[in-house]
Structure 1
Amino acid sequence: MSALRAALATEGRKAISARVLRWTTGLLVVSVTALVAGILAAMNLGDPQLTAKLGPVADLEGWPALLAVAAQITAAGVMPALGIGLSWLVGREFAEGTITGLFALPVPRWTIVLAKLVVYLVWTVLVGAALCAAMLLLGMLIGFGMPDPAAWGPLARQIPLTILVGLVATPVAWAATLGRGLLPGIATAIGLLVIAQVMAFTGSGAWFPLIAPALWAIDPGSVTAAQLALVPSIPVVFGGLTLLAWHRLQLDR
């Protein structure tokens, strides 16, 4: 337990001082906010192509419209950003050549990567909270006023949505370990997004964990608790594979 605490303290300090995570968080929040604002503006102008793509969302106004658009963008857009952050947390040791020094530490390597995964989870919670605050600020700046009681739930849903998307991005850590660098992890994050989009297009349904968070965010009633409960299976499996890979890690290959 003391080894894990030491690893958490070290990885936490690295994350706090990391410009990569700060810039990724900032760019993600700004880009999602800008996209939501742009789509709302286009909806007000009555863009027929956008209306056709949005479907029932195009008929909404005020906070329901903002939050529905935000849920769709967050569900589809945060995967690459979170994947970049996770790939950096795990892959930087290989990219910067610091992995050799970890073999000399008294802390087991699997404990170090476990601390990295915990830090990543904390970061996803903070990203979700930042997105939630950004949507609240955007709505007030647009002139929607404070959300009514019915809107607070969908607004707060930004946080668990971001966490769920972050959980399904866990294979990035395994890929960054096997590929010994940042690019394999980033490529895996993009691949996961493509797979999720294809599965959603083909109507695979919420039983496929990669798309369950997006479907839940858009229409919570369409996803059962059993379907949503499958999402943690991804971090359990791939988190375990990542721990095993770091436990067996060797410098010569």
Structure 2
Amino acid sequence: MTAATPTSSAAAPHGLLRAAIAVEARKAWSSHVMLWTTVLLVVGVGALALGILAAVASGEAQVIAKLGPLAGVGGWAGLVGIVVQVTAAGGLGAFGIALSWMFGREFADGTVAALFALPVPRAAIALGKLIVYVIWAIAVAALLTVVVGGVGLVLGYGATDAAGLRELARLPVLVVLTALIAVPAAWAATLGRGLLPGVATTIGIIVVAQVLAIADVGAWVPIVAPALWAIAPDSVPAAALLTVPSVPLVFGALCGVAWARLQLDR
């Protein structure tokens, strides 16, 4: 019995984390916010890409001017190029909203007080939320890739050849990396005790990333590298993408600490 005690004690935290993940997964699955965020991101990006391609085909001068050199690129490369530009900014906004809801709703709905009565540590609850979020982001990446592939087939691009497959493969990588750099929104929603601080932080990340990209100094900046790489892979060293996980690791840890130190009176 004595020898079994350490094993049981070591297994307990894992069981509590699994319980937190299961509960947070049920919350996300039944959430209208998560559902509509998924629909708007997946269907919206596909519909927007179709609209832009239709405008280019009809000779819309303003659209062609905004696309620049990309307007003259056809086939899978042109389609994916348009989609990654839309996803780089729109995806970050969508993921930030999702995280703001996942963490901020506990304060907005007044359910955070009940978490103090649970046997599951609050840090484990925060980690469970982040794990569910990452799983959801991977699912969104897969769905969006399927939708974009379907759009390409509808447009008559034919079966994806090797070159087209390489173009299309950038999309799920971009979506997942974009989801990772949105994690500061979870920390902000926790510190600000609501949804709006997380949304505001997401907008701030988008603005800063855009400024750094325009200034051409963002190849090694984690919040900029995914979008630059997806739009122009040759302009960003592959090693620069390895800096992206530092964002969720740092801010995920900060989020866990913030949840562990939560107090009801402030």
TM-score, scaled to structure 2: 0.92
1:11 has 2:46 as partner = no
- Higher mean C-alpha deviation, range 38-47 or range 123-132: 38-47
Q: Which amino acid aligns with 1:81?
A: A
The CA RMSD over aligned residues, in Å, is 1.2
5 Å-filtered alignment, 1:101-116, equals 101-116=114-129
1:40 has 2:50 as partner = no
1:21 has 2:28 as partner = no
5 Å-filtered alignment, 1:127-146, equals 127-146=140-159
Match of 1:199 in 2: 212
Q: Which amino acid aligns with 2:81?
A: A
Give unpaired runs (5+ residues) of structure 1.
none
- Higher mean C-alpha deviation, range 222-231 or range 126-135: 222-231
1:98 has 2:103 as partner = no
Match of 2:231 in 1: 218
Query: CA separation in 1, counterparts of 2:129 and 2:37?
Result: 17
Deviation track 1:23-48 (CA, whole Å, cap 9, x = no partner) reads 11001112211211111112222333
Match of 1:153 in 2: 166
Query: CA separation in 2, counterparts of 1:156 and 1:11?
Result: 30
Displacement of 1:192? 1.0
Give the ranges of 4+ consecutive aligned residues of structure 1 lying more than 4 Å apart after TM superposition.
none
Alignment size in residue pairs:
253
Give unpaired runs (5+ residues) of structure 2.
1-13
- Structure with larger Rg: 2
Displacement of 1:242? 0.4
Displacement of 1:245? 0.3
Q: Which amino acid aligns with 2:260?
A: H
5 Å-filtered alignment, 1:60-71, equals 60-71=73-84
Displacement of 1:16? 1.2
Deviation track 1:78-121 (CA, whole Å, cap 9, x = no partner) reads 11111111111111111111100110111100000000000010
Fraction of identical pairs, as percent: 56
